[in-house]
A and B are shown apart, each in its own frame.
Chain A
Amino acid sequence: MGELFSLDFMLGLFPQVIVALPKTLMIAGISALIGLMIGLLVALVRYLNIKGLTLISKVYVSFIRGTPALVQLMLVYYGLPIVIKIINLQFKTAIALDLPKDVFAILALSLNAGAYMSETFRSALQAVDVGQLEASYSLNMTTAQALRRIIVPQAFAVAIPPLANTLTSLIKETSLLFTISVVDLMAQGRIIASRSYRYLEMYVVVSIIYWVVCTILAKGFNRLEKKFRKYERGFQHD
């Protein structure tokens, strides 16, 4: 002790902190998948201009984008039990109130990511040439067939880089989850650091782990983009 910064101590922290990485990745991964579905649905509502749902999706996206993720997490954490109570009373159901903390975390992060992803999908859908839809209709494909086979795959390829951004934001936002006692990377680090009071070393370790994960992810998405855009001129080569 007495050192300002102990490198040995820091290196020793890695194995202890990294055990929480699977939890972080699990929550981020599930939230990303649910967010992806929410995002695509909301974007399609706007793209197809479905009456009644357009306004709701606009308000949803605007609210998520205009409020901090931490506040959204708190709203879900304190709000969801009350919503469940009301549902139980109204419909005489018996949904458990003591849901695992992970469920709150995933719900909050999915709703957050879904809003950002919907904006990504929306501009990606608009970027697909309207002639693609006309050609589909001309061949007697239904709107659903045209979307599934022609429009959405093309939009998805365009959307990959911004989706990667949202996904890295999502991973970083999991660091808020310690506030609702989910033991992710950040929480694990804090628990361990509290035993020795060497917080700086811990935060360096935690930041390095986030950094590496996000960098690997960005590279992976680069590859994915090349694969998905192979049909475009200039995307066959590096």
Chain B
Amino acid sequence: MIDVKNLNKSFKSNHVLKDVSFSVQQGEIVSLIGPSGAGKSTLLRSLNWLERPDSGTITINQSTIVAGQESKQAVFDLRQHSAMVFQHYNLFKNKTVIENVTESLITVKKVNKADAQKRAEAILEQVGMSDKLHDYPSRLSGGQQQRVGIARALANDPLVMLFDEPTSALDPEWVSEVLEVIVAIAKQGMTMVLVSHEMRFVHDVSTRVILLDEGTILENGSPDAIFNHAQHERTRQFLRKVQQF
């Protein structure tokens, strides 16, 4: 489903991703964990071409993009296959809940308005936001905003969903309702790659965990293998730090 080969990315002199390669099979839920600055978000955002890697290739479902010689069509295809859920939701502030979901259907996929609205209503029901269709994002709690963010990403019928720390901007009281929605979508067989600091969630939901450290993949295995039988001392150090409370 996803195949990443030799991805490199630098911000000026800071080499954030160093020759990163990994792949994800259909239906897998892969969590990227690691200390801050390890390159997790940069890696995830590259899959949606929100970061432009310096070199390497990304393939999602037979659409391959080669960094440095990407065509507009290749970027378009990549983004059609992958949908991003942002840490800070990034809902369109000047659009209502339902307009946030119909926006890309209407402007990008040229779906007619009535069909787009029907589809949006169905998806918003799935994330439990049917009663707020015509509210603006500013009127919603963080948890509600993020559920709309997930609905907006789902509307595009992606093959892969990318979650960039979907709960780390939320007040603790809203975290579980968002995680529940993610779990429900996972259960439908959606392929997912997520960056998260919710270690319990990562442990319970992931089919595989990748630990990044200083721009390289340090561990890549089942949650049990990483959390209970880590190969590297650095992994154990990291897990002790994040699990100590």
Which positions in A face B, CB cutoff 8 Å?
A: 129, 131-132, 134-141, 145, 149-150, 153-154, 157, 230-233
Assess the B90–A231 pair: CB atoms within 8 A.
Answer: no
Task: Tell me if B36 is interfacial: C-beta within 8 Å of chain A.
Answer: no
Interface size on B, residues (CB 8 A): 27
Assess the A140–B104 pair: CB atoms within 8 A.
Answer: yes
What separation, in Å, do the CA atoms of A139 and B107 have in the docked complex? 10
Say yes or no: A141-B108 contact (C-beta < 8 A), given A134-B50, A231-B136.
Answer: yes
Chain A binding surface, main DSSP class:
helix
Closest Cβ neighbor of B84 among chain A residues: A138
Assess the B88–A131 pair: CB atoms within 8 A.
Answer: yes
For residue B81, give the distance in angstroms from its CB to the closest CB of chain A: 10
Task: Tell me if B121 is interfacial: C-beta within 8 Å of chain A.
Answer: no
In the assembled complex, which residues on chain B have CB atoms less than 8 Å from the CB atom of A149?
103, 107
What separation, in Å, do the CA atoms of A206 and B48 have in the docked complex? 61
Assess the A232–B138 pair: CB atoms within 8 A.
Answer: yes
What separation, in Å, do the CA atoms of A136 and B107 have in the docked complex? 11
Assess the B90–A129 pair: CB atoms within 8 A.
Answer: yes
* Extra A-B contacts (13), CB below 8 Å, given A132-B92, A140-B80: A129-B93, A131-B88, A138-B48, A138-B79, A140-B79, A141-B103, A141-B104, A145-B108, A150-B92, A154-B93, A230-B136, A231-B93, A233-B139
Chain B binding surface, main DSSP class:
loop
What separation, in Å, do the CA atoms of A138 and B48 have in the docked complex? 6
Assess the A135–B48 pair: CB atoms within 8 A.
Answer: no
**What total of A-B pairs shows CB separation below 8 Å?**
68
What separation, in Å, do the CA atoms of A26 and B84 have in the docked complex? 49
| Residue interface bits B98-126, CB-to-A below 8 A is 1, else 0 | 00000110011000000000000000000
Determine which residue in B48, B88, B90 has the highest number of CB atoms from chain A within 10 A of its CB, and name it: B90
For residue A75, give the distance in angstroms from its CB to the closest CB of chain B: 39
Say yes or no: A231-B79 contact (C-beta < 8 A), given A134-B86, A138-B50, A140-B104.
Answer: no
Task: Tell me if B76 is interfacial: C-beta within 8 Å of chain A.
Answer: yes
In the assembled complex, which residues on chain B have CB atoms less than 8 Å from the CB atom of A145?
107-108
In the assembled complex, which residues on chain B have CB atoms less than 8 Å from the CB atom of A150?
92, 94-95
Task: Tell me if B10 is interfacial: C-beta within 8 Å of chain A.
Answer: no
What separation, in Å, do the CA atoms of A139 and B111 have in the docked complex? 14
What separation, in Å, do the CA atoms of A106 and B138 have in the docked complex? 41
For residue A231, give the distance in angstroms from its CB to the closest CB of chain B: 4
Can you list 7 residue pairs at the A/B interface with Cβ under 8 Å? A132-B92, A132-B93, A137-B49, A137-B79, A138-B86, A139-B152, A141-B104
Task: Tell me if B178 is interfacial: C-beta within 8 Å of chain A.
Answer: no
Determine which residue in A139, A154, A157 has the highest number of CB atoms from chain B within 10 A of its CB, and name it: A139
Assess the B138–A233 pair: CB atoms within 8 A.
Answer: yes
In the assembled complex, which residues on chain A have CB atoms less than 8 Å from the CB atom of B156?
139-140
Assess the B83–A135 pair: CB atoms within 8 A.
Answer: no
Give 6 nearest A-B pairs by CB, closest first: A139-B104, A131-B90, A135-B90, A231-B136, A233-B138, A138-B84
What separation, in Å, do the CA atoms of A233 and B142 have in the docked complex? 14
Closest Cβ neighbor of A128 among chain B residues: B93
In the assembled complex, which residues on chain A have CB atoms less than 8 Å from the CB atom of B107?
141, 145, 149
Closest Cβ neighbor of A133 among chain B residues: B90
Determine which residue in B94, B103, B107, B152 has the highest number of CB atoms from chain A within 10 A of its CB, and name it: B94
Task: Tell me if B91 is interfacial: C-beta within 8 Å of chain A.
Answer: yes
Assess the B103–A132 pair: CB atoms within 8 A.
Answer: no
User: Within the complex, which residue of B80, B86, B95, B152 is in contact with A131, where a contact is CB–CB below 8 Å?
Assistant: B86
Closest Cβ neighbor of B100 among chain A residues: A135
Closest Cβ neighbor of B88 among chain A residues: A131
